A and B are shown apart, each in its own frame.
Chain A
């Protein structure tokens, strides 16, 4: 065999990138962050490519406000009081449902082989997870802001001091981030995108609807009241409501923070382990 005895880097073509002679070194923390941002960009670009996705993202929270605040509110007679109670519940609902996308997109990347492409490249192993969670935190923020704006248009009024109201939104975002790790874990364990979706729905629906987000537990019959008062989402919804409307928060903020901490402590390691298994 007459071939050269060592592996060489191939000569560059004439596309004007003569400086690039070798694949650059791109691991390490700075690299991981930059790669994470590139992958966050990659997760958000479909919204620009397909306006339908963007419309759906923006319309869904508006639709929820219309149904729950305006329509269900109209049923109660006192629309102003209904908006005060229901809008924080809708914010909680839309934020939590949005965590679905984290796991669904991870599952999709695994099934489609996109993950394998990333893994075969010289990039930090954590970059795809960083990118995913960053992109989803941004979309969740947008969803919360849109729902709040729609709520204000529907007659909801923020009656708390601005900082307290912001703290309420921050608490919601924080809890959503914690929950997105559960979603990530489900997505990494799932055999298919559809099974991920099924599992996430099975977790999210009883949590969001079976809470004080829409109906005070005191108004619910037996088992439902018991579940609703036990449900951590009730504490979250009550805390968000109290912080936006300037009413006493009671223990709800602390209970919510404790739950967020517990969920994070539990599911970040689980998700990272599931991820490490999938990328072995």
Chain B
């Protein structure tokens, strides 16, 4: 069954200066699943997910210890290149952030373009494909050369997802992708996650427990940088093993 493992996290610790924000995490993610990370705010869930594609270390004073195994290789190994790593592990952020003064088309294709794809028809193909996967194609197909920032918030976020899909990473991280969106846009993004898990592995941080329940196959519960519990979403929500998880889920703290 090893071939179903998408990502393996071993003894992962994240620091801001001397402060240890994420403590000794050990987790395994399987291919073609949606994995939610929940927990009270400030619990280190964002920091944790940012360690998985080495974005965390771009923050000043930040550092990481531990291993993250992708396809048999540790992305934190001495000879691993963070830039290569990020090509295989994409990320969608909390706020929709299309690139400024770039058309929708440019936004989607900038990844492949800068990775060396020059063929125009190929790029157009990628654009159509990814926008379709991101359920945005029908809304923007007539205005591909408009500025990306002219779209609504929900559309922008789907554009960002399409942009990530364009470099075709097997794993996609999402850091509270719906927290800046209205409920209708949120539903669309949630449907989208369900759709793309057929091809990708999704790891998503969410502040919304109901969302985790709706979309995730597995759920991890974090408190203050500790992994309290990880398991099938149904188990976590109906039959939590830990008292803390139960308290959080029933709204007693958080």
Q: Are A and B genuine complex partners?
A: no
